Amino acid sequence: MRRVETGCALAESRRNGRVGLGLAAMLAVAPGLVGCAQGDAVQSVTGWWHQYEGGAIAQQRPPPPGAHQPYPHVGLTPTEAPEMPSASARTALTDQLKAERNFGRRLAAADGPLPVAPPKPAAPPGQNAAASGSSMTVAAAGGGPAPAQDWTMPAVTKFAPPPMRPGELPQIGPTPPPVPAFPGFDIPETAVGTPRSSPAYALADPHGVLIRFAQSSDQMLAGQEKSIGDALTGWKAGLPVYVTGFGDATSLAPDDQAASLRLALARAKNLAETVMLRHVRAADVHLAAAANGHFGRVSLVP
């Protein structure tokens, strides 16, 4: 009995030892698994590869400069005033940007919307019958069969640069290469090197304070009362007030110009009524409207 008990105790102790070793191995691997769970798969694979390579790339990165210093006071930075252009230079730059913006708007209105391709005309009855397998043929005006059209693409001239030696910079010619010509297609003037003449548009902003309206509407946006008050600063009874409405025209076509002018008149009338609520007589309000332009303006000078 003692031998049997001794053998059972020995087997039990061995089993407990294996379990203890397994627990110890799991506890040793657990920190590594927790560390892997903190990063994504890419970071884990990258870390493993760096450890495999060894050397400087496997070492820990040094802390960034100033990591242990106190945080700076953001309200005290920057300590030096930045270099700014003079007031006249800033005004000139603002006027230039306004002119470029107005030129782009006027040019877009002059170009008009993109053309829409007309619908494909219906084929003649004889041509439909020929396409359906009928024995009828389309005859030309002279009584004979219609001549076959040549649908082959024209030859395209391709510019071949001269060969260059290794390490040699390409030589830029005095003029660009010629534009390839396609029969039946009109090449734009800008492609052949002819500069486009700029039309003589009035690019300066109109006088007065800008009053914003809703898109394609004569209703003013919220918060425009302050702008109207700023426009009437310095006004005295009996002095004229100039109110102008603009129609946001996007094309110079007669129909579009007429519709934009009606919108401009509606905006000018609505703006004039708002101005007269500030004790301005109707006889002192001068109305104007223009199809090109945006929103409305109130000014004390014409």
For residues 205 and 105, is the Cβ–Cβ distance under 8 A? no
Q: Which long-range contacts (CB under 8 A, 24 or more apart) does 275-280 make?
A: 275/228, 275/232, 275/241, 275/243, 278/228, 278/229, 278/232, 279/237, 280/232, 280/235, 280/241
Token representation of residue 56 = 């400087």
The pTM score is 0.47
pLDDT per residue as tens, the chain (302 positions): 444 444 444 445 455 555 455 545 544 544 454 444 455 666 778 888 888 888 888 888 888 888 888 887 777 777 787 788 888 888 888 988 988 898 888 888 887 777 777 777 777 766 554 444 444 444 544 555 666 666 676 676 666 666 777 777 767 766 766 777 777 777 666 555 555 666 777 788 888 999 999 988 999 999 999 999 999 999 998 899 999 999 998 888 888 899 999 999 999 999 999 999 999 999 999 999 999 889 999 999 98
For residues 39 and 32, is the Cβ–Cβ distance under 8 A? no
Cα distance between residue 31 and residue 144, in whole Å? 94
The 10 Å Cβ neighbour count of residue 250 is: 16
Cα distance between residue 244 and residue 275, in whole Å? 12
Cα distance between residue 244 and residue 291, in whole Å? 11
Token representation of residue 12 = 């039990």
DSSP-based three-state secondary structure for 209 = strand
Q: Given this model, what pLDDT does residue 8 score?
A: 47
